[in-house]
Structure 1
């Protein structure tokens, strides 16, 4: 029997993108999945749109927050409700390629891999390709991962049967990095990547990555609050992060015009 994959998707005022995101799950060649949509107290038509899908697709489930609680708590709510052997993540504005789950499950089972991720491409707010491919490192140890966030959350998947349910710390941003660090640490084995693009990440004007000061602030909080490091140790790793991010990780971005 095929394993069950639980897909965790937090939403907040996502009416513009959520239909396309859900359809990218419905179009998967791997069919044994459940999609857990967690609404973070939206005030637009997000819930109405989701309810239309639910009437036709029983393996789509809607969870609602009673107040706006943020992405971390929303993701954790979905994780705790998940029934899957594997847990994957897809934000409400991102997209998967149809073969994403099929390729990833087969890879993880064949390679005895507990944590898996892949390359992905960037698109703009209207879905137009930005001709940028984010290349995944073939292998990612805990030590290397401490230096920078090398896992695109929309590509990540972990084996919940082996690792249990791994939740995120209550951080406003970058909580997924801390979660994947925990997953790799619990696994005791490096995360492994699939060296092809399996997803599309939507770059939006209000995204945190467009603000370098926020990048520094929230990544520091991963060390300080997410991992519980001392202030001195957090500053030390933050300096390592800045070097890794700007001089090494930046080389992972490749123009698809040259491929």
Structure 2
């Protein structure tokens, strides 16, 4: 049995998959690993290219083919079903790990064991680089201190991205399944479910960026994003309300700003302004903070 299963959803982007696989090949961690790729109904030509990419890789790769496009949450559930290694990590096709990522995260897990902590209640996340199309890479720190549930709802200091994680298979079972209603933001819902189930995120002592997220909003539906936020808020309403009405409005204001960003980047300027106006109406102070933050980041 392999020690680590690396789980990758893929759809119609063999060149992006090749980039991700290369970053796995370059890991300094020398343990036994298997890569599981679930192809989510790619077009025939692209699937053939994907098969060729896998054949050319030196990695131990299992390719699972879906006959039709099922969407990201169902694909991720198929990956969970296929995994059987004691440890799991995730990577989206097109994003990359830096060479020390897995070794640094296993070192963190070993530290937890030495302290007597239950590793099955922990996920190891990490700092990462955020690379917008046409811009330079920007380091983003994952801050695991404080109330993690509260921080996840806002997403300013602690962000929900699967490709930052390493953990035991049992720890991922704690978060259960991906919500198949969520075409977007399944990561956020999954992280919230994990923390609500008693899970805790920790970061390695290596504070460097350990992976890179290549980001583009082009073609992604702003209304769909905002609708998925509503689904998450309704699903976790009891937990959200524990932080009070002011915080609830702040979380909703953040959601409006995210939707506004998607709309703007897809040239839907009227819709972008409508979301931004609603964000100011919900929580003027937080909305002003977000506006200043976006101006400082360019």
Q: What SS class does the counterpart of residue 202 from structure 1 fall into? A: strand
**Structure in which a larger fraction of residues adopt helix:** 2
Name the SS of the counterpart of 1:76 in structure 2.
helix
Q: Does 1:161 align with 2:170?
A: yes
Task: Tell me if the contact between 2:88 and 2:169 (Cα under 8 Å) persists in the aligned partners.
Answer: yes
Q: Indicate conservation of the 8 Å contact 2:90/2:163, yes or no.
A: yes
- Out of 196, 200, 207, which is 1:185 matched to? 196
Deviates more, 1:243-252 or 1:159-168: 243-252
Alpha carbons 2:25, 2:59 under 8 Å: kept? no
2:236 and 2:144 mapped to 1: Cα distance? Answer: 28
Higher strand residue share: 1
Q: Distance in 1 between matches of 2:50 and 2:109?
A: 30
* Structure number with bigger Rg: 2
Moved more, 30-39 or 163-172: 163-172
Q: 1:207 to 1:106 in 2, by over 3 A?
A: farther
CA contact 1:139–1:190 (8 Å) conserved in 2: no
**Normalised by the size of structure 1, how large is the TM-score?**
0.79
Regions of 4+ moved over 6 Å: 248-253
Q: CA deviation at 1:251?
A: 9.5
Q: Specify which of 234, 246, 249 is matched with residue 239 of structure 1.
A: 249
Q: What secondary structure is seen at the aligned counterpart in 2 of 1:164?
A: helix
Residue 65 in 1 paired to residue 75 in 2?
Answer: no
In the alignment, which residue of structure 1 is the partner of 2:263?
Answer: none
Rate the CA distance shift 1:215–1:205 in 2: closer, same or farther, 3 A: closer
Give the stretch that moved more between structures: 169-178 or 48-57: 48-57
Aligned partner (choices 188, 213, 217) of residue 227 of structure 2: 217
Partner of 1:138: 144
Q: Alignment partner for residue 204 of structure 1, among 211, 216, 219?
A: 216
* Aligned residues of 2:14 and 2:50 also touching (Cα < 8 A): no
> SS of the counterpart of 1:147?
helix
Match of 2:123 among 93, 112, 115: 115
Per the alignment, do residues 240 and 153 of structure 1 end up closer, same or farther by CA in structure 2, a change over 3 Å counting? same
Aligned to 2:160: 151
Alignment: residue pair count:
246
Change (3 A) 1:146 1:129: closer
Query: Residues 76 and 167 of structure 1 are in contact (CA less than 8 Å); yes or no, is this contact kept in structure 2?
Result: yes
Shift of 1:30: 1.6
The range that moved more, 68-77 or 152-161, is 152-161
Structure 2 residues not aligned, in runs of 5+: 258-285
Deviation (angstroms), 1:142: 4.7
TM-score relative to the length of structure 2: 0.70
Deviations 1:110-139 (A, max 9, x none): 1245112111112245xx762322211133
User: Equivalents in 2 of 1:44, 1:140: separation in Å?
Assistant: 48
Residues 139 and 191, structure 1, Cα contact 8 Å, conserved in 2: no
Q: Following TM superposition, by how much is the alpha carbon of 1:205 offset from its aligned partner in structure 2, in angstroms? A: 4.3
1:177-229 residue CA offsets vs partner (Å, 9 max, x unmatched): 1112222233x243112333111101124264xx76554322222223xx364
**Aligned in 2, Cα 1:62/1:48: closer, same or farther, shift over 3 Å?**
same
- 1:17-49 per-position Cα deviation (integer Å, ceiling 9, x unaligned): 111111111111123221111111111644333
